[in-house]
């Protein structure tokens, strides 16, 4: 679409919406921004766009603006089923996501990564491997910079790596990555989707425009991921931690093997800084994506060996009185917490809870029963989590996260671990997962300081 002179409505004014509004205004579009928050709540954001000719409809959505727009660009935080958007689509208005818009202006070979868990680690590591192998690389999407910022910058890069949430994928039309990665599928965001299948369908849109010249990297250990293979047009490149593969990438007895078109590369995993069984999946996915896009095996391996992982994902905080404290504030769904619990021996004190996302907590039951000595529940989800899990172990409630850390300190014997992996979003008690993470780490460091005093 030629943007100049077009009437374009941007829905939602968080970071992505700001970047989209700027890009469109600078391209000569007639931009209107709508957000349910008012101008007082958005004062700082509006200052960022003060130099541009943009109309604002704040504190409300005006139906007429949705119906008269040539194009509607929806920010990831805005559900696609709000009434004005449904009305606009019924009248054949074009409704897209920011990543779709950005993709119209980016021709660089792209890796796109989605899944319920592990996306950010895999995306970051994939970008690091490309860079380590000499490719100028942009990394963004659902992490870091919105993809539209690459289109806006005019920066010339050789590779693009983009993390995609289900929300971003809802609004794609022609988005077309050369390599698309699906890590896993577990219940998430059921506070936004009407069913688990609706969430899965959104994830699968990552493959929608691929052809036989492209690759779909699929974690076939996940039966839901494996089941989608027959529907895809791209070449399937399987990955497995549980089975050896003649074609694909797999793990056995301390070695990762990449096998493709008669080429076989083997990588020893001893000495990897990135720990945890779930991170083997993330490493294999990153190696698959980069090796399929012409990275050298030795150079890719050296990058993996030195990659330390990311903050707020199973991050070791401190040891206090012989107990290790781990912060996993990004563990915002049940599937993520399953992986975290699998990474420790029995003797765990698990702190969990937060804003309930609507899914079942039952998948945690076997691991809570087998490995969790003490369960401390916080936040609005604590009652529902207690119904599902409370009878399986010694269970307590805390009104605050700081209180939960203090209680964990009293309950946990030396040699055990305290794991903060909430299985919920943060928005009942905190601004975001980062504020929640810093609260936990601050409480642990205060404990450590008391121990040193």
Q: pLDDT band at 294, cuts 50/70/90? A: very high
% of the chain beyond a pLDDT of 70 = 99
Tens digits of per-residue pLDDT, 180-220? 999 999 887 777 788 999 999 999 999 999 999 999 999 99
Sheet containing strand 372-378, edge to edge, reads 315-320, 323-327, 417-420, 348-353, 372-378, 394-397
Nearest to 207 by CA among 244, 187, 235, 234: 234
Give the sign of the dihedral formed by CA 116, CA 331, CA 221, CA 215. positive
Portions of the chain given CATH number 3.90.190.20: 315-452
- Kind and range of the H or E run holding 365: helix 365-371
Portions of the chain given CATH number 3.40.1190.10: 100-306
Tens digits of per-residue pLDDT, 380-427? 999 999 999 999 999 999 999 999 999 999 999 999 999 999 999 998
Return the half-sphere exposure (C-beta side, CA atoms, 13 A cut-off) of residue 293. 32
Fold of 315-452: 3.90.190
Per-chain mean pLDDT for the chain: 95
Cβ–Cβ < 8 Å for 307, 325: no
Tell me the backbone φ, ψ of residue 157, rounded to 5 degrees: -125, 165
Q: How many residues does the chain have?
A: 453
Q: 334-342 and 277-292 are packed helices; what angle lies between their axes, rounded to 10 degrees? A: 110
To the question of domain 7-93 being in CATH 3.40.605.10, the answer is no
pLDDT at 453 over 60: no
How far apart CA 104 and CA 99 sit, in angstroms, is 9
* Predicted local confidence at residue 238, as pLDDT: 98
Tens digits of per-residue pLDDT, 372-393? 999 999 999 999 999 999 999 9
Tens digits of per-residue pLDDT, 355-366? 998 889 999 999
Q: State pTM to two decimals.
A: 0.82
Fold of 100-306: 3.40.1190
Give the sign of the dihedral formed by CA 91, CA 92, CA 94, CA 97. positive
* Predicted local confidence at residue 452, as pLDDT: 63
What is the mean predicted confidence (pLDDT) over 234-240?
A: 98
Six-digit token string for 67:
């119906």
């Amino acid at each position: 679409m030629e943007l100049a002179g077009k009437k374009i409505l941007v829905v939602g004014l968080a970071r992505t919406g700001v970047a989209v509004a700027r890009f469109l205004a600078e391209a000569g579009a007639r931009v209107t921004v709508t957000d349910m928050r008012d101008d007082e709540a958005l004062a700082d954001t509006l200052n960022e766009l003060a130099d541009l000719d943009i109309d604002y409809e704040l504190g409300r959505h005006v139906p007429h603006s949705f119906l008269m727009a040539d194009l509607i660009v929806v920010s990831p935080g805005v559900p696609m089923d709000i009434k004005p958007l449904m009305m606009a689509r019924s009248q054949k208005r074009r409704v897209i996501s920011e990543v779709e818009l950005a993709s119209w202006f980016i021709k660089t070979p792209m890796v796109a990564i989605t899944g319920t868990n592990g996306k950010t680690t895999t995306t970051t590591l994939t970008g690091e491997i490309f860079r380590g192998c000499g490719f100028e690389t942009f990394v963004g999407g659902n992490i870091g910079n919105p993809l539209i910022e690459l289109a806006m910058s005019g920066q010339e890069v050789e590779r693009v790596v983009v993390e995609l949430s289900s929300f971003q994928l809802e609004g794609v039309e022609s988005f077309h990555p050369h390599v698309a990665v699906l890590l896993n599928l577990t219940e998430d965001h059921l506070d936004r989707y009407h069913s688990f299948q609706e969430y899965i369908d959104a994830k699968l849109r990552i493959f929608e425009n691929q052809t036989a010249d492209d690759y779909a990297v699929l974690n076939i250990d996940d039966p839901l991921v494996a089941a989608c293979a027959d529907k895809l047009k791209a070449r399937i490149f399987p990955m497995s931690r549980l089975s050896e593969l003649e074609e694909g990438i797999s793990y056995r007895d301390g070695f990762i093997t990449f096998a493709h078109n008669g080429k076989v590369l083997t990588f020893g995993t001893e000495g990897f800084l990135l720990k945890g069984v779930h991170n083997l999946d993330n490493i294999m996915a990153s190696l698959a994506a980069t090796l399929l896009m012409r990275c050298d095996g030795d150079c890719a391996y050296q990058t993996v060996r030195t990659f330390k992982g990311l903050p707020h994902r199973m991050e070791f905080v401190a040891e206090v009185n012989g107990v290790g404290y781990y912060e996993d504030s990004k563990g915002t769904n049940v599937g993520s917490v399953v992986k975290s619990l699998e990474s420790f021996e029995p003797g765990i004190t698990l702190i969990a809870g937060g804003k309930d996302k609507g899914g079942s907590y039952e998948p945690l039951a076997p691991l809570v029963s087998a490995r969790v000595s003490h369960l401390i529940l916080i936040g609005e989800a604590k009652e529902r989590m207690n119904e599902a899990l409370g009878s399986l172990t010694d269970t307590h409630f805390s009104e605050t996260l700081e209180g939960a850390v203090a209680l964990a300190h009293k309950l946990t014997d030396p040699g055990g671990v305290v794991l903060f992996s909430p299985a919920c979003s943060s928005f009942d008690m905190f601004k975001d997962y980062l504020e929640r993470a810093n609260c936990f780490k601050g409480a642990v460091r205060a404990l450590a300081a008391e121990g040193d005093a």
